[in-house]
Amino acid sequence: MKYRYLNKEAIMKGVFLLAACASILAVALICLFLFANGLPAIGEIGIFDFLLGKVWKPGNDLYGILPMILGSIYVTAG
């Protein structure tokens, strides 16, 4: 009986390990996809203008995300 319990526990440990690895892989692939598709735009705009720009007006080709970054930090910090 004890052997059967350990076997189920080992199976579930493997299932959870597989789920964790799949989750990590999914997040990594999402990050890679976003980075690869955003790199040409950031290259055209410039990394510093993109990260430190204060104005977001896509119609005028102004793409600054500093207020969004600071807002995210503010909300996260509470």
Are 41 and 6 found together in one domain?
yes
pLDDT tens, position by position, 4-56? 666 888 899 999 999 999 999 999 999 999 999 989 888 888 888 888 889 88
Shared-domain flag, residues 50 and 70 = yes
70 lies in the same domain as 52: yes
Q: Backbone phi, then psi, for 4, in 5-degree steps?
A: -65, -40
pTM above 0.75, yes or no: no
Q: What is the extent of the structural domain holding 12?
A: 1-45
Residue 1 has pLDDT above 80, yes or no: no
Residues 56 and 69 in one domain: yes
**Count of domains in the chain?**
2
Are residues 36 and 1 part of one domain?
A: yes
Does 28 share its domain with 57? no
- Kindly provide the residue ranges of all beta strands, DSSP E only, lying in 1-63, ordered along the sequence: 56-57, 62-63
Same domain? 38 vs 51: no
